[in-house]
Amino acid sequence: MSATHTVRDLFVSSGSGAIGAGLRLPAAPERLSQLVTGFEWQGLGERVFDLLDLNVVDILLAGWKTHQEVRDQLRATAQDPSRTVVVSLARHTLDSTHTPSIELRAHGRTILDLSFPIELAFEIEAAELTLRGGAVREARPGTVTVRGTVRLEGTAILERELAPIDLPGRLVLDADAPAAAPAHDTPLALGV
């Protein structure tokens, strides 16, 4: 994976940033066949990769912040910024769903908004989070494996079977940044 660790990297099979054979979308849905040509439709496949530029570390952090003990300790360290807390999470899973879309426009108006749901499932061997000032300042994730699917109209157009991802042993997260408010509402689910 690259230094930025994006979801795009999870689906890419080569260092060039492109999937080996390219992305082939399923045939255009019947309702679109009058609106787009086959060439335009397949060109849309290249834009799908842009939707995958989501930071993996941000996804993991958002999920960890939903864990009750982490939320409690984030609140406690926000109230006492001089306090540092280390929270250890044992083997757990983190499921994340994102729904980016691509808007098709013609003659200055929107013809259609296509949704490309991205479903990710992370299995984390363990994680150790350092909390200070109401924010996660450092993370030490253990082995992380991920499975992912990108869909269009109910059809999987990209899939990634369970595979390990290479995260650094220690992630320093803006150690000197001002404290951020803990995230309470997030679409992620964490299973411990």
Note the pLDDT tens digit of each residue in 148-164: 999 987 888 888 888 88
Residue 8 domain-assigned (yes or no): no
Domain count, the chain: 1
Does 67 fall in a domain?
yes
Residue 114 lies in a domain: yes
Range of the domain at 176: 56-191
pTM: 0.77
The set of long-range contacts for 96-103, using a CB threshold of 8 Å and a minimum separation of 24, is: 96/59, 96/62, 96/63, 96/120, 96/121, 96/122, 96/187, 96/188, 96/189, 97/187, 98/7, 98/54, 98/187, 100/51, 101/51, 102/44, 102/47, 102/48, 102/51
In a domain, 40, yes or no: no
Question: Which residues of the chain register pLDDT less than 70?
Answer: 1-4, 13-42, 174-192
Could you tell me if residue 6 is inside a domain?
no
Within a domain: 174: yes
13: in domain: no
Q: Residue 51: inside a domain, yes or no?
A: no
Q: What is the pLDDT of residue 70?
A: 95
